[in-house]
Amino acid sequence: MATDLTLVIANKTYSSWSLRPWLAMVHFDVPFDEIVIPLHQDATSSEIRKHSPAGKVPVLHHGSITVWESLAILDYLADAFYDRLWWPTDPHAKAHARTIAAEMHAGFSAMRGTMNMNLSKTYPARVWAADITKDINRVQDIWRDTRSRFGGDGDFLFGDFTIADAMYAPVVTRFKTYAIDMDATCNSYADAILNLPAMQTWTAQAAEESWVIDYGNPPDSL
């Protein structure tokens, strides 16, 4: 498929940042070409720098325009393809969606730094360190609060799928990988993300990848 949009990503099994714009673009039926640069290879850094001055993926090329960082890409797409409902339309809901998306982008470093995204693994439940537990609990608080205030009759944070859901989708996969205990509201939301057709496509394609990154088995407690 030849389009004027190209999304540069890393391995689907491991790249949480790549998942976010890819998931939204596929869900909102935005056609694009895809370049996959596998992580932890000798040429990974040099290949990525051909596309991004930051040396990280994802990167979006739209004609002569280049955008990097997941949230910036999603915001750019919301402007470029304004006929799709990327954000909630209600001003209060939209403000909340932008806020929790930004919190995901900037925060939760303890959880993200320890609980690597890895769609090829599942681990038994364990006791996590206080800073990681704080991040896990905060994510679930966000999900419960947002669903209660804005979810309505839909399955996602704001009823219909939005950029906010794209930002939290990788956390859903982490919670599945590491057997995080969740209440009914959070479990229902996680199931909605995992059953999203675009997410199932990503997961199926990840399962076909031949690249393997050995993060090692996490300890029984952290």
Measured distance CA(138)–CA(186) in Å, rounded: 12
Task: Say what the pLDDT of residue 222 is.
Answer: 47
Name the band, by pLDDT with cuts 50, 70 and 90, for residue 24. Answer: very high
Residue 200 contacts by C-beta under 8 Å, 6 or more apart in sequence? Answer: 194
User: Given the structure tokens 């364990």, which residue do they identify?
Assistant: 126
The two tokens of residue 143 are 């999900």
Read off the pLDDT of residues 102-131 as tens digits, 9 standing for 90 and up.
999 999 999 999 999 999 999 999 999 999
Work out the mean pLDDT of the chain and round it to a whole number.
93
Measured distance CA(132)–CA(50) in Å, rounded: 35
Q: Do 68 and 43 form a contact (C-beta atoms < 8 A)?
A: no
Identify the bridge partners of residue 68 per DSSP, sorted by sequence position: 59
Tell me the average pLDDT across 79-96: 97
Tell me the average pLDDT across 171-195: 98
Domains and CATH numbers, the chain: 5-80 (3.40.30.10), 91-206 (1.20.1050.10)
Distance, CA of 73 to chain centre: 12
- What does DSSP assign to residue 129? P
Tell me the average pLDDT across 134-138: 98
